[in-house]
Structure 1
Amino acid sequence: MSFFKPTFRHPEAPKNSLGLTSRAYEGGISTLCAGCGHDSISAAIIQAVWGLNIEPHRVAKMSGIGCSSKSPNYFLNKAHGFNSVHGRMPSVTTGANVANRELLYIGVSGDGDTASIGMGQFAHVIRRNLNMSYIVENNGCYGLTKGQDSATADEGSKSKKGTINPFEAIDLVALALELGATFVARSFSGDKQQLVPLLKAAMSHKGFALIDVISPCVTFNNHAGSTKSYDYTREHVQAGAVVDFVPHAQEITLDQIKGSTQQVELHNGDSVRLSKLDDDYDPTNRQHAIQVLHEHKANDKLLTGLIYLEPESENFHEMLNVPDTPLNKLEQSVLCPGASILDEINEGLR
């Protein structure tokens, strides 16, 4: 059950270039546990889409099953939405994307929905480089079913019941890099300053964009011994590349940040400015990104920020030579050109 927020807002609330306040991008009142990291992610998504000046009805928010997959109800209530079967969000998103490529697709999943039952679909949506932002709300447990360890729970971490996890964790960021993802990032739900520009960059990327967000479960996985708790994450996080997203045609400004800075152009004319904390780190080098990721893991550190970006890549629609006009807008004469055209196609295959 969801409850809707009161309609009153401050009359001088800031507006984007569409004349909309953030109120137009909100959803229902969250029924998740108070303090859940997922709610912080929803707030960041609201701020990112509002800041990109995207009309809410131009967004399709997709999800599977789990606490994370409830959260799309708490943002963009005027957007399209589909809550799919457990682990099947990528295939449903693929079908919707084929039918209407003009929408912005935001997929929200969890560590169980992605790293367990949905692992196969996760791998193939990366391989296809589907145009979507894939957000994993990663808390290392099944919060909807009493806190069992998920596939992303770190080896040696302790559950709320006191049992130690004996299994090696699946690192979704490392997996995405190995599978060829063209945009890979990790963040923390408690770091809105980092998460919002990452979301903006992911939503503007032409292809598959993964953001793995550590999002502590305050009910089942926020205790001493958990490696997905607020305290542990804050103590072990280390930013690899600080992101400043610059929309197209907007004056480029950047506060003075330590380290060197490079600008990477995206397909749509927008750009991402990266302040590298380590001069040797190059987020456009896949092999180096994998190496740095493993080095941080070996030193018990959590690498966050934009970990890898491939500015030039062939996305799903280009691979299949899909027409620019969305399939749901093609006229009958184009979809069914007649028997003579079919005969020509068949003859060419002989």
Structure 2
Amino acid sequence: MSYFKPKFRHPELPKNQLGYTIDYYEGSLSTLCAGCGHDSISASILQAAFEMNIEPHKLAKLSGIGCSSKTPAYFLNNSHGFNSVHGRMPSVATGANLANKELIYFGVSGDGDTASIGMGQFIHAVRRNLNMVYIVMNNGCYGLTKGQDSATADQGSINKKGKENPFESIDLASLALEMGAGFVAQSFSGDKSQLVPLIKAAMKHKGFSFINVISPCVTFNNNVGSTKSYDYVREHVEATSTIDFIPEMQEINANYDEGSLQKVKLHDGSQLNLHKLAKDWNPTDKRSAINAMQNAKESGDILTGLIFLDDNQVELHEILNTSDKPLNKMTEAELCPGNDVLQKINAGFR
């Protein structure tokens, strides 16, 4: 079996403003199970990058270990990439980000990689407001080790072996909200029309952007009784809104009924148009977002869409007052200012 995609593409494929066709944003042929929701998320990521006219070499994709963490091989072949240790992707992302702030950082993780072994890493990346997009491909099980329940499996959910999960689940979107993330969203791998605009907005947000995507495991967690199955998710999805992402400087021509639209501007002038569906929900009010998540949980629904947005936060580089120039662009004299300067620095700690 070949793991390489055929190079032939239709000669009339549309191009973005950079002159690239969509295949320039693709990766290797996926080796995940046929029908895996993770492949749909990968397709949404490359579609968002294509539509946003992003130069692939200006994006760095990082991951840990797991089915989800294999996916960076399947999108944005021409980008920087690093597959790190299980649960340690946030540390690697932090180091890379501090060394070069000019790249767009894209972290891809799973429910085991984030909610179990990587939990400590995850919450500290949130609290430090690391400027990155963090996507969790959440299927509620360990797909690489025969489908055991993960920490995000809902209490009472039935796994493929017929056993009921006795433990309370970790709600990653609510956790990110509580820890201070300025962009919190939730989606379903089968809803590309919602997920693509969310990814676009996340890339434009200054600070930590978190998207929890329910992504059913077709092999180990798509059975009757599983709350992460395709059927269950489709029957219980409760959207906060339908979403349009408007890039900076693009003319907006639209007519909406009064009171049905909420416009949210991002720091660079881009705009999200939220056509509100959920009652008593305000995406810029943290208390309202927390209540909406709790209400959905109590009713057994899965709340999707933009949950919360705070575009006035200070990201990590501003907190630490780091250099505007990336380390790889500095000269030797800038990186090593000499013994006299180092002596003064050391004296300041005495």
Which TM-score tier does this pair reach, normalised by the shorter chain?
over 0.9
CA distance in 1, matches of 2:229, 2:349: 58
Partner amino acid, structure 2, of 1:46: L
Deviation at 1:278, TM superposition (A): 3.5
Deviation at 1:341, TM superposition (A): 2.6
Aligned residue number for residue 33 of structure 1: 33
**Matches for 1:34-113 after TM superposition, within 5 Å:** 34-113=34-113
Structure 1 residue 115 corresponds to structure 2 residue 115 = yes
Larger mean CA deviation between 260-269 and 217-226 belongs to 260-269
TM-score of the two chains, using structure 2 as the length reference: 0.96
Structure 1 residue 11 corresponds to structure 2 residue 11 = yes
Deviation at 1:199, TM superposition (A): 0.4
1:237-258, CA deviations, whole angstroms, 9 ceiling, x for partnerless residues?
0101322111111122457589
Q: Is the 8 A contact 2:37 2:216 kept in 1?
A: yes
CA distance in 2, matches of 1:73, 1:253: 38
Aligned residue number for residue 183 of structure 1: 183
Q: Is the 8 A contact 2:66 2:110 kept in 1?
A: yes
**Matches for 1:271-290 after TM superposition, within 5 Å:** 271-278=271-278, 280-290=280-290
Paired residues, number = 350
Aligned residue number for residue 333 of structure 2: 333
CA distance in 1, matches of 2:32, 2:256: 38
**Matches for 1:121-270 after TM superposition, within 5 Å:** 121-254=121-254, 256=256, 260-270=260-270
Which runs of 5 or more structure 1 residues have no equivalent in the other structure?
Answer: none
CA distance in 2, matches of 1:257, 1:192: 25
1:94-134, CA deviations, whole angstroms, 9 ceiling, x for partnerless residues?
11111111111111100000000000000000011111100
Q: Is the 8 A contact 1:141 1:221 kept in 2?
A: yes
Q: Is the 8 A contact 1:264 1:311 kept in 2?
A: no
Distance 1:249 1:229, change over 3 A: same
CA distance in 2, matches of 1:274, 1:257: 12
CA distance in 1, matches of 2:90, 2:2: 25
Deviation at 1:280, TM superposition (A): 2.6
1:144-198, CA deviations, whole angstroms, 9 ceiling, x for partnerless residues?
1100000000000000000000000000001001100110000000000000000
Partner amino acid, structure 1, of 2:164: I
Q: Is the 8 A contact 2:280 2:288 kept in 1?
A: no
Cα-Cα RMSD: 1.6
Deviation at 1:266, TM superposition (A): 1.3
Secondary structure of the residue aligned to 1:341 is: helix
Aligned residue number for residue 311 of structure 1: 311
Percent identity over the alignment is: 66
Which runs of 5 or more structure 2 residues have no equivalent in the other structure?
Answer: none
Distance 1:28 1:254, change over 3 A: farther
Secondary structure of the residue aligned to 1:297 is: helix
TM-score of the two chains, using structure 1 as the length reference: 0.96
Q: Is the 8 A contact 1:4 1:27 kept in 2?
A: no
Partner amino acid, structure 2, of 1:98: L
Q: Is the 8 A contact 2:181 2:208 kept in 1?
A: yes
Distance 1:338 1:60, change over 3 A: same
Larger mean CA deviation between 119-128 and 262-271 belongs to 262-271
CA distance in 2, matches of 1:173, 1:50: 27
CA distance in 1, matches of 2:31, 2:284: 39
CA distance in 2, matches of 1:12, 1:83: 34
CA distance in 2, matches of 1:62, 1:349: 35
CA distance in 2, matches of 1:175, 1:257: 34
Deviation at 1:285, TM superposition (A): 0.8
